């Protein structure tokens, strides 16, 4: 715990500096992941169930890009229309996952 306002000010400034650095690093990571994704989609081999992923193996890593389809409910719309009959209706959701090991 900070003992006085000077320490508090120092801690607040440290947090602000680290958050700014974190934002820059996250932007760099996002750009790098986009480059990796483009490579994997272009040159990866099909894999996974029903060939729904692309995989690239390196000497000490494996990169996979998985496309999955989900069917979550749009509960507000369906509930307003049907009440308790929600499980009968679903919307499609497609997501992608990049995994680097």
* DSSP line for 15-79: HHHHHHHHHHHHHHHHHHHHHHHHHHHHHPEEESGGG-EEEEE-SS-EEEEEEEEE----HHHHH
The two tokens of residue 79 are 């509930």
pLDDT confidence bin for 33, thresholds 50/70/90: very high
pLDDT confidence bin for 71, thresholds 50/70/90: confident
Residue 84 and residue 74 in contact, taking contact as beta carbons nearer than 8 Å: no
Across the chain, what does the average pLDDT equal? 87
pLDDT, tens digit, 9 for 90 and up, residues 17-27: 999 999 999 99
Q: What is the pLDDT of residue 79?
A: 79
Over 90: is that where the pLDDT of 100 sits? no
pLDDT, tens digit, 9 for 90 and up, residues 72-98: 767 787 778 877 777 777 677 888 877
């Amino acid at each position: 715990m900070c003992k006085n306002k000077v320490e508090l000010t120092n801690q607040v400034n440290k947090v602000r500096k680290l958050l700014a650095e974190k934002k820059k690093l996250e932007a760099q990571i996002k750009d790098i992941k986009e480059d990796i994704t483009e490579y994997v989609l272009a040159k990866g081999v099909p894999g996974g169930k029903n060939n729904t992923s692309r995989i690239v193996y390196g000497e000490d890593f494996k990169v996979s890009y998985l496309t999955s389809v989900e069917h979550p409910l749009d509960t507000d719309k369906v509930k307003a229309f049907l009440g308790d009959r929600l499980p009968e209706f679903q919307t499609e959701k497609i997501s992608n996952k990049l995994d680097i090991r």
